[in-house]
Chain A
Amino acid sequence: MVASTQTAAPDYAGRYALRRWTVLPATYLVAIVALGLTIVPLLFVLVDGFRTNGDINNSAAGWPHPWVAGNYTSVLTSALFWEFLGNSFLIAGVATALTLVLGSMAALALSRYEFKGREVFYTVFVSGLLFPIGVGALPLYLLLQRLGLLDNQFGVAIPEAAFGLPITLIILRPFLRAIPGDLQEAALVDGASRFRFFGQILLPLAKPALVTVGLLAFVTSWNQYLLPLLVLQTNTHFTLPLGTYIFQTQYSQNDAGIMAFTALAMVPALGMFLFCERYLVAGASGAVKG
């Protein structure tokens, strides 16, 4: 190790050089292990989807011999897979739209107006973080039964939107508040109504936050399992995660088919993620400030 020859001052340069030599390999080691542990299971499912059941039964680990595309094509040509996919999109789409529209309206009220009880309203919404949808699922089932919304995609989407509101408000409110009041006054002086100011100036300015909030609502709905499991009964109404599990239980002998189905069921989530990762991670880094 090259030590600095200075005697009086603490030898931080040397120490940090040392650190670089010891820490960088450690970083790479951790990086490689983390990478491997994450990717190998995913690759396994993907690759095994190209094997035959006989091949899999011979040995659980190994390259396909021969490669067959049949598992994938039979999933892709089954009507049910596309129905699951469609339902997932329908439910997540409705839930996201509802959360976004109602959530941003409420966020405007709670950020751009002064009124008595404002903080109380906000606290009520924030308290929703204590009621994760997993806790609310069975109670919701009872409610939906009374409302006649069982086995109905909207019976899943509407509660999901409601459960998405707390976080939407938590993210949007500070964001909308941070936009200076001068801007609002200028618009009002120019004769715009408050709503017009909201719609034409404020919300466009808040677009990064809205995108993040919308994505989170979408992903949350897309990944939800317990509520669809309780509410949906006809398999043509199932979501993709629910359908994947049902497929597994129904074709438990067909490992290769399940692998292919599982791999394909991951594609939409991974695709959306790669496409939108910037917003999700940027969101997590607080970069939504824009």
Chain B
Amino acid sequence: MTSRSTALEAGLAPPATEESAAAGPLRAPWWGRPKLRKKTELTILLAPALILFVGFVLIPIVIAAYYSFYNWSGYGPLNDYIGFKNYHYAFNDPAFIQAIEHTLILTVASVVIQGPLSIGISLLLNRRFFGRTVLRTVIFAPYVLPPAVTAVMWSLILQPSGFADQVFKALGLGGEVQLWLANTHIVLWTNFVVLTWQYLGFGIVLLLAGLQGVPTELKEAAAIDGASPWQVTRRITLPLLGPTIRIWAFLTVIGSLQVFDIVWILTQGGPAGSSGTIATYMYLNGVQATDFGFGAAIAVILFAFCFVFALVYQRFALRRDTQGALTRAVG
């Protein structure tokens, strides 16, 4: 789930300084041959990052696209060209269709449930009260824990007659106890709850940061003009939070589309595929089944999902924030 961590990062771009303070052209006297020198300097500075990036981010996708046309077990020569069969097989496999459904359910649920929840909590927490700093720290903490470790923790908590069940009984909800990780009707939502535990704090911290950018004067002025607290929130605070919310949603969707570690450790996508996501399907049927050509096809499909979403989102939502909002997070 690394992309969620990129989430934080994107929240960090210092706002709105870019256009105002671009570095001016260098007019200082320069001996030697300034143009050549500039070119050399640029090459020295830019080339290493570019090579690293192209080599390990872009090329692998190309390689995967290439491998996806082959039947290849991971060893030996790549000579069994099968065209689009891997893709054909994937889209005709009910388990894969199910994995897509689960991934989309988790993605939509993340936005629709975690979104209002983080907004609500951050609005409530955006005031001075005793212990606010501590609370902020604690709420943010799960986000920095390795999801794999979190998942091991939750698998212990959720095992039959484990800690979670005991808590339910103690609260008089013993009748609600389920096989959290084995009931095929529930297991996807169990995963969702754990994902929420891991990532909710991130949204809250991002939004709290965004809330600090909402000028108090504006809210006060509206209040003096007779706006109710609800109107102030609805008409001033939320619109000004827009860019933060849109960035959060973007990163949440990209993160949810590729969700792997928590689901894999909690349930391995099971039982019987009832909680499988695209990424766990890829691991199960590509890596564990040593069918790497097929796995590569799934990776390409997964990439296509992210890509299409990003294009659409950029076109319809992010564009409203002046200039490619990818570069312009909070604020």
The interface of chain A, by Cβ under 8 A from chain B, is 10, 12, 15-16, 19, 23-24, 26-28, 30-31, 34-35, 37-39, 41-42, 44-45, 48, 59-61, 98, 102-103, 105-106, 108-115, 121, 123-126, 128-143, 145-146, 158-159, 161-163, 165-171, 173-175, 177-181, 184-185, 188-189, 194-195, 209, 212-213, 216, 219-220, 222-226, 229-230, 240-242, 244-245, 248, 255, 258-259, 262, 265-266, 269-270, 272-274, 277, 280-281, 283-286, 288-289
Residue of B with least CB distance to A26: B124
> How many whole Å from A60's CB to the nearest CB in chain B?
5
Interface string of B134-161 (1 = CB under 8 A from A): 0111111110111111011111110101
A131→B306 CA distance, assembly (Å): 8
Interface of B is mostly: helix
Q: Apart from A27-B125, A241-B148, what 6 extra A-B contacts exist at CB < 8 Å?
A: A31-B129, A45-B156, A140-B60, A179-B23, A194-B41, A273-B140
Residues on B with C-beta less than 8 A from A12 are 223-224, 226
Assess whether A177 is in contact with B21, with CB atoms less than 8 Å apart.
yes
Assess whether B42 is in contact with A178, with CB atoms less than 8 Å apart.
no
Assess whether B57 is in contact with A115, with CB atoms less than 8 Å apart.
no
The verdict on B241 contacting chain A, using a C-beta distance below 8 Å, is no
Interface of A is mostly: helix
Assess whether B261 is in contact with A226, with CB atoms less than 8 Å apart.
yes
A280→B67 CA distance, assembly (Å): 39
Assess whether A277 is in contact with B140, with CB atoms less than 8 Å apart.
yes
Assess whether B141 is in contact with A223, with CB atoms less than 8 Å apart.
no
Assess whether B23 is in contact with A135, with CB atoms less than 8 Å apart.
no
Interface size, chain B (Cβ < 8 Å)? 122
A161→B310 CA distance, assembly (Å): 22
A288→B9 CA distance, assembly (Å): 11
Residues on B with C-beta less than 8 A from A31 are 124-125, 129, 131, 135
Residues on B with C-beta less than 8 A from A273 are 140-141, 144
CB contact list, B257-308 vs A, under 8 A:
258-261, 265, 279, 282-283, 286-287, 292, 295-296, 298-299, 302-303, 306-307
Residues on A with C-beta less than 8 A from B225 are 10
Residues on B with C-beta less than 8 A from A137 are 299
> How many whole Å from A154's CB to the nearest CB in chain B?
12
Most central of A39, A106, A138, A274 by chain B CB within 10 Å: A138
A175→B29 CA distance, assembly (Å): 26
CB contact list, B1-52 vs A, under 8 A:
1-3, 5-6, 8-15, 17-18, 21-28, 38, 41-42, 44-46, 48-50, 52
